[in-house]
Structure 1
Amino acid sequence: MLQGFKEFIMKGNVIDLAVAVIIGGAFAPVITTLVDSIIMPLISGLIGFPSFDEFLRFQVGEGSNYVAFGAWLTVIVNFLIIAAALYFVVVMPMNKMIEARNRRLGIDPDEEEVEPNVALLTEIRDLLAGQPGNPAPGSAAAKDPNA
């Protein structure tokens, strides 16, 4: 049982996920500060208020029962702003850097990567097909063993 747990923990995808969560947690304040300190004040200056919390807010019944569609709208707008900031400040520049590196190294991202075992078996097949008496791969004789 412990061996299975050890194998699970040591899998690359689990470690990659753990690193991603830690980096994401460390990076979250960067994006939050960008949105709260730069983007939201700009929006507030343009439209006059920083949130929609009071928009479409009405009382239901007596007491302090309020339906606040504006608060929900504020959360959606904040999510979209954070997603846009993350995309334009982090994802897009990172993709450009990766493309530039791939061009510099001559890596074609559209080229399929062949597993070493498959490449070796393909090479063996081609060598065997090149010997006298062996049919070429893909030929009718290679497909029909009785031919």
Structure 2
Amino acid sequence: MSGFKKFLLRGNLVELAVAFVVGAAFAGLVEDFAASFISPLIALLGGEPDYTGLAVTINGTKFPYGIFVTSAIAFTITAAIVYFLVVLPTTKLIERIDRGKEATERDCPQCLSAIPIRARRCRHCTAEVTPATETPTAI
């Protein structure tokens, strides 16, 4: 029982649960934003914001493709909102914060894997490399 208790209280699981709850709340916010502002704009431009009624009947079988069209439009709008209002500003902020930091890794000239700057040998391909703090010698 103590193993199960440790599993439940482990940091990763708690962080995942918090992220899930915040993500669900954010999804509701984005859906409401799309319903309140984006769908009416689409209705102004295209005439109808809801295409769920669109269907085609072939040999007596109804194919309601409008449900997919509406979902695809909602997904595209949601993805754009998340990208432009969350991902892009967060990326810019992280770049601004990391701008003054010195690099701690560099690429191995042989296998292009990230290795510490002062490394003398690549941990991935075991090639000998000149540490970045030294000047390379001519062969």
By the TM > 0.5 criterion, same fold?
yes
Which segments of 5 or more consecutive residues in structure 1 lack a partner in the other structure? 113-118, 120-137, 139-147
Report the structure, 1 or 2, having the larger helix content: 1
When normalised by structure 2's length, the TM-score is 0.66
When normalised by structure 1's length, the TM-score is 0.62
- Tell me, in whole angstroms, the C-alpha distance in 2 between the residues paired with 1:107 and 1:4: 41
Out of 91, 101, 106, which is 1:107 matched to? 101
2:11 matches 1:12: yes
- Aligned ranges for residues 20-39 of structure 1 at < 5 Å? 20-39=19-38
What is the number of residues matched between the two proteins?
A: 108
CA RMSD, Structure 1 to Structure 2 (Å): 2.5
2:84 matches 1:85: no
State the one-letter code of the partner of 1:100.
R
- Tell me, in whole angstroms, the C-alpha distance in 1 between the residues paired with 2:81 and 2:14: 27
Which segments of 5 or more consecutive residues in structure 2 lack a partner in the other structure? 106-115, 117-127, 129-139
Correspondence for 1:57: 56
- Give the structure with higher Rg (CA): 1
- Tell me, in whole angstroms, the C-alpha distance in 2 between the residues paired with 1:5 and 1:60: 56
